Chain A
Amino acid sequence: MSLKEDLTQIKDQGLAEIAATDDLKALNDIRVSLLGKKGPITTALRGIRDLSPEERPQVGSYANTIRDELTTEIDARKQAIEAKELAQKLANETIDVTLPGNQVRQGQPHVIQQIIDEVVDLFIRMGYQVLVGPEVEEDKYNFEMMNLPKDHPARDMQDTFYLTDDILMRTQTSPMQARTLEKHNFEDGGLKMISPGIVYRRDTDDPTHSHQFHQIEGLVVDKNITMSDLKGTLATMIHEIFGTKFNYRLRPSYFPFTEPSVEVDVTCFNCMGKGCDVCKHTGWIEVLGAGMVHPNVLKMAGVDSDQFGGFAFGIGPDRFAMLKYGVSDIRDFYLDDVRFLNQFDRRG
């Protein structure tokens, strides 16, 4: 057998061994045994000196080709085995992607706060200032300057917590009308303000009454403010807060500090106007009170009622929240059951 035939045999055998290997270590052993100094190629080449000088380069070149071929094949095999092993390793790492993600803590604003912020932000966009007033109020601002003198029957509508004969827990945010009118300098232009806050009534707490609740007062006073402006303002708010599919109506009402006075109803949330128990089958739900500022209120605050006029409105965020979410017990807002509070976490 010629040397060349030997080499060919070594090559064929080597290729077969490489192809049969599935293991990196075995492959390395093959590499060392085939291509190492003690390997068959090296051994075979020792016989080269027995060849004629013409044959030597040919056989030497052939040996190198075989060496390269085997090396390439071993590398390819190595990559293939590695790829397979990696695939196997990754397959072993497979996780259950349906297991829950880590819990992340997040708090929510109180649902009433959400409504207040929404209303306040809307009125800021419409150019209103935001003012806040004291919760412990003087009778003067809470009642007298709001055109509710002592012994006025409308005081019965608002049972009051008194601290003394003249100091009380404000029953409404309306005293902020008097306070603001008193301070505002109309030479600097008209007045547009909104005033959110807590108010108090001498009521026994039950599903529809709370001795503490919230109000948002609105007041616009300038030289040319009309009742149509009031209607437009309330319409804008109702459509913004509740949505444009809600209709509204104005009804005559009575507040000592506005004349004309209106109550505003919106389409019942529950039945969308068809009539149900919630709206007492009228299709309407009362949401706020409003009116044109009574000239007496302007006069008492030192504002010229011939020159200036305007409108005021009062919104009940608690009531809004109850209507919007169907909360049936107002006390839920103040007991702070975590399971209740955390429901209002949608921010979209």
Chain B
Amino acid sequence: MKISYKWLQEYLDLDLPAQEVAEKIERSSVEVDSVKVPMDGLKKIVVGLVTKVEPHPDSDHLHICQVDVGDESLQIVCGAPNVAEGEKVIVALPGSRIANNVKIKRSKMRGIESSGMLCSLDEIGLDKEVVPNEWADGIYLLPDDAVLGDAVFSYLGMDDALINIDVTPNRGDMLSIYGTVKDLAAIYNLKDHFNVRSVTENGQQATDTEITATANPDLAPTYKLRVINNVLIKPSPRWLQIKLWQAGIKPINNVVDVTNYVLWKYGQPMHSYDLDKINGQHLDVRYAKAGETITTLDEKSYELNETDMVVADKNQPVGIAGIMGGQQTEITNETTNVVLEAAVFDPIKLRKTARHYVIRTEASQRFERGINVGGVQQAIDEAAALISELANGEVAKGTLNATELESVEPVVSTTLTHINKVLGTELSMNQVVDIFDRLGFTTDVENDALAVKIPLRRWDIHEAADLDEEVARIYGYDNLPVTLPDTDGMVGHLTEPQKLARSARQVLEGLGLTQAISYSLTTAKKAGMFLMQPSLATELKWPMTQDHAVLRMNLISGLLDDVAYNNARKVKDIALYEQGRVFYRNDADEVRPVEVEHLAGAISGSLDQAGWNQKALPVDFYQLKGIVNQLLINLSISGEIEYVATDELPEMHPGKTAKILVHGHEVGFIGEVHPSIAKQFKIAPTYVFELNLQEITNMPKNDNQYQLISKYPTIKRDIAIEVAKEISNEQIISVIKKRGGKLLNSIHLFDVYDGDKVAAGQKSLAYSLVFVNTKETLKDEDVNAAVDKIKKHLTEELSATIR
């Protein structure tokens, strides 16, 4: 809400710079979006008098004007239709700057010298949307008393500072000059002199003879009407137009403008109807009936629901209650009798309707947040008084109250002890009472206890905690002590799963993978790829886009999106990992998925940059396997880690994928992304792994254990064998281990060959076997015997040929 600083100053003796006041508002009540002085950035724009107007010889619409700007007379060519001799106008002098940083220079217009420019309102920075219709198609004419040569800004309210506040949902009271004045009075400890116009019912008629009204009290607990007869509709006076355009509201006419003025001043939304267009001279606040329609003031049509609140005449809705009036009863230039409406509408129902039709008006915003239910009469009275004054109307006798809420100021109890305990302060009772006084809350003190009476405009205050906030903000958050909570020896730490997740991240980073964070919400298709277990998809009810519509059941697809994003930008070498949740749902009946922590990685391109002394080898299965294996070792998993070839994952290369088993239990998989999937993602060959981190967390762990290092020398023996291609390394190792005896300490594969020098269908492998005896010096014959046994069994069990 834009608040005119000058308007505030009408009621408050405050002469600090506006910026300072804004900072104070921000520190004490609500956020300030901006402070703007409309004339900032404009210069040399002055009052001029048109002394002579002649037509331009080469144009059918331009005029050559002589303009007196006080100390000189300028010749200015102007195209506005309303330029006329004897009028005071806005003159942008040569060398001036007008809206949008446009500089005005002396120039020639169709051959005629022009020293400056006569301006319309929008040309000097007023938003086109708020320029009154009568000034929309021409230059603005200043009042006769404007002084020649003076800057024009003070005549147009442009020298004022507009403080744009951003009001939180609880501070609806700040959506008015009244509320802001009251809050500033409290903040600065000032007495305000807010002035209220009282109404003189100068008409002959009685309101209730001209119109009748009924209202469902659930919808409109207060519903008031007044009638003003014999109005003369015309533009509002300049002071009122200025107040409205400063607020960002377009001035319309002297009736509508008054209702908007009252809305801004009191925060009370109002509506005006043309009495003669109300069928049956009756208004009713009720729910809409099925099939009813309305065309609102902005010329939009709505088909209404039975949950919408409307104001209807005998025949049909004439307004969506509290949101926007209907076209049918709109005030026009021909209107002579006006019905004014001021009401309290149910905020929840109103909000539903406003949201449903996506209509947001100044009125709806205020009703939604809650208005000052104690101020409705004051608002309708002031509006009636002003219309009577500005439109020569006669105010009919009496206010028609279809419903009226009994307004009792609530009392909230608290204690001084409570306030000090919550805030950590040592305020005295006098200090606290003084704060409430400043806020306009009356207090009743008994020992430590306080009973605080809350004005109705502050409907947001209804319990002790709310009073804590009032005291804190007026006392000032800057003045609060700075302390830390009593810790009574609590020790913080990461839980085991948190530690493990952090270790996993650090290990992978040490192994060269960078952490990625991708989106949990993805497409239905990607969500269901790379599934480690069967699962139903979890879908959003109203996704914003199909790209983010379903919760992921794997991390890899997100990483592949990342690879694709990088590949598309010519970044080819990628090593990423992600740790995050996947969402499994086992049963169609369970709505909430199970959230499982996963860990996944993807490598693509080459991990090693080609350099002057090293080659860039393309990533492969074994590179990633090395990383995953080191990770699993570092995570101190107890139990054997196995890699079992699998072709069960449709998104993975059937010949280059393995399940990862720990102690026989499947925890994840590793392999190459299926080339056709890689093609779908538009990525280069990519190797990936995904692990169920939660499962790994839950597994038994090995602590580091010390083993005596043998003092006796080890003996190393190499064996080379030839076996059928289908025999896996795992099979060979397992035979060696099983038959190697207790002296066998380690097995290291150092060569694999399946080229021309072995028979077709065969491959050759070479292993180093290290033997050790921790108790005595190894004997050659013991090692020989062990190796012979291994060779024998390799031959027998795997049909190996020893080379």
Contacts and interface: CB of A to CB of B under 8 A. Distances in A.
B168 A253 contact: yes
A107 B511 contact: yes
Nearest to A280: B34
Contacts of B574: 338
A231 interface: yes
Interface stretch (A3-11, A53-61, A257-265): A257-265
From B34, B516, B571, residue with most partner A Cβ within 10 Å: B516
A163 B591 contact: yes
From B29, B490, B542, B608, residue with most partner A Cβ within 10 Å: B490
Contact of B565 (A166, A261, A337): A337
Given A249-B477, A336-B516, A228 B544 contact: no
Contacts of A220: 485
Given A127-B491, A251-B477, A292-B468, A151 B483 contact: no
Interface string B42-68: 000000000000000000000000000
Interface in B491-518: 491-495, 498, 502, 505, 508-518
Nearest to A234: B482
A346 interface: no
Contact of B612 (A100, A124, A309): A100
Interface stretch (B262-270, B310-318, B418-426, B695-703): B418-426
A109 B422 contact: no
Nearest to B558: A336
B494 to A, nearest CB: 6
A254 B169 contact: yes
A252 interface: yes
Nearest to A99: B612
A103 B614 CA distance: 9
Given A99-B612, A107-B515, A294-B465, A136 B595 contact: yes
B488 A190 contact: yes
B404 interface: no
A198 interface: yes
Contacts of A204: 544
Nearest to A294: B465
Contacts of A89: none
Interface in A126-173: 126-130, 132, 134-136, 138, 151, 153-154, 156-157, 161-164, 166-167, 169
A161 B540 contact: yes
A125 interface: yes
Contacts of B538: 136, 163
Contacts of B519: 211-212, 334
Contact of B510 (A106, A162, A339, A341): A106
Interface stretch (B82-90, B344-352, B432-440, B784-792): B344-352
Given A249-B478, A254-B168, A295-B463, A225 B485 contact: yes
Contact of B562 (A103, A250, A336): A336
B494 A130 contact: yes
Contact of A338 (B517, B566, B607): B566
A313 interface: no
Contacts of B105: none
Contacts of B581: 135, 198
Nearest to A212: B519
Interface of B: 23, 26-31, 33-34, 168-171, 347-348, 351-352, 355, 368-369, 421-425, 463-466, 468-469, 472-473, 477-478, 480-495, 498, 502, 505, 508-521, 538-544, 548, 551, 559, 562, 565-566, 569, 571, 573-577, 580-581, 583, 591-593, 595, 607-609, 611-614
Given A100-B611, A102-B613, A229-B485, 15 more contacts: A106-B510, A107-B514, A108-B515, A109-B515, A124-B494, A126-B484, A161-B541, A161-B542, A227-B422, A227-B468, A253-B31, A259-B465, A259-B469, A260-B473, A336-B565
Chain A to chain B: the 4 pairs with minimum beta-carbon distance, closest first: A226-B424, A228-B424, A105-B512, A260-B469
Interface of A: 99-100, 102-103, 105-110, 112-113, 117, 120, 123-130, 132, 134-136, 138, 151, 153-154, 156-157, 161-164, 166-167, 169, 189-190, 192, 198, 200, 202-204, 211-212, 220, 222, 224-229, 231-233, 235-236, 249-254, 259-263, 280, 282, 292, 294-295, 309, 333-339, 341-342
30 contacts: A100-B612, A105-B511, A107-B515, A110-B517, A127-B491, A128-B490, A130-B495, A153-B347, A163-B540, A167-B591, A190-B488, A192-B492, A227-B423, A229-B424, A229-B483, A229-B485, A231-B481, A232-B483, A236-B484, A250-B480, A252-B28, A252-B29, A253-B168, A260-B469, A280-B34, A282-B23, A292-B465, A336-B559, A336-B565, A337-B566
